Amino acid sequence: MSAASLPYAVLILLVELAVGSMAFMTLFDGRGQVTSGYVKAGALTIVPLALLAAWASVSLTGIDQIEGYPLAARWLTPFRLALLGFIGAASVHLVAALKERYRAQVTLGAVASVLGVVTLALLAALVAEPTWSYAGMLVSLLAGAAVLGGALMAMMWGHWYLTSGRLPKEPMEQMSLLVLAALVVQAVVVVLAVLLPARVEGLTEASFGVGLGQNPAFWLRVGVGLLFPALLAVLAWKSAQIRGMMSATGLLYIALGAVLAGEVLARGLLFTTGLPV
């Protein structure tokens, strides 16, 4: 990944984290499975992530390509507007959470989640030009958001068990399984990306001067970013079943680090190969 593409990679990661965390937290909040303190902590985490994403987007100049990687610069302004809408909804959601207005916070969380999906859709349109399809790029970003946001929010929820042993185990079990399901979707996207070539000729040989199968970054992405966290998610689920919440939380800590590393590698490979792995 070149220095020129780094701001785009960072932007993708921040948007995925913020949107995925909001959707994941709102899903369990709407079902009444988490505490108000957890929602407050989650909201206080999401808004700064979204603001950092907005800051990263300011550095983008609307160029048509990054060292041979074509961009659809016409989508940059709509993306920024959608991101501002997400930030606004997330900020109002934060206020509602701090005031413990349950119905308002669930509604605003749902609105922010929808705006977040729109933001990801426009971000996919911005960077999807060389990939095998826009749909593939969009699913890649949505799955990345689910994995990153899910791992972060599940890890945070684990801390509530460390202060109260009376909380039910089902939310942690379900969170771990959702992270695992998102990783499975990511794995399917990776397989499709390997089988279907990029639309821009030459990009598939750009990284390290070798094809994707011979690229060590690709195998690190698969091993560290998919297989390892999938194993950790299964172990966290098993630990939650026997109420080993300290173990489950520790496993999710490691899983979060692994999926972050995997997403960094994936976005680096995107801008050097044109493949949404």
pLDDT tens profile 156-188:
999 888 887 788 999 999 999 999 999 999 999
pLDDT tens for each residue of 205-255 = 444 455 677 788 899 999 999 999 999 999 999 999 998 999 999 999 999
CA distance 68 to 6: 14
CATH of the domain at 258: 1.20.1630
pLDDT of residue 207: 46
CA distance 62 to 273: 21
CA distance 21 to 172: 15
pTM of the entire predicted model: 0.92
Does the pLDDT of residue 142 top 60, yes or no?
yes
Residues 129 and 113: beta-carbon distance below 8 Å: no
Domain membership of residue 18 (yes or no) is yes
SS3 70: strand
Tally of structural domains, the chain? 1
Domain membership of residue 1 (yes or no) is no
Domain membership of residue 267 (yes or no) is yes
Percent share of the chain, pLDDT over 70 = 94
Domain limits for position 117: 6-273
Smallest Cα–Cα separation from 130: which of 191, 186, 68?
Answer: 68
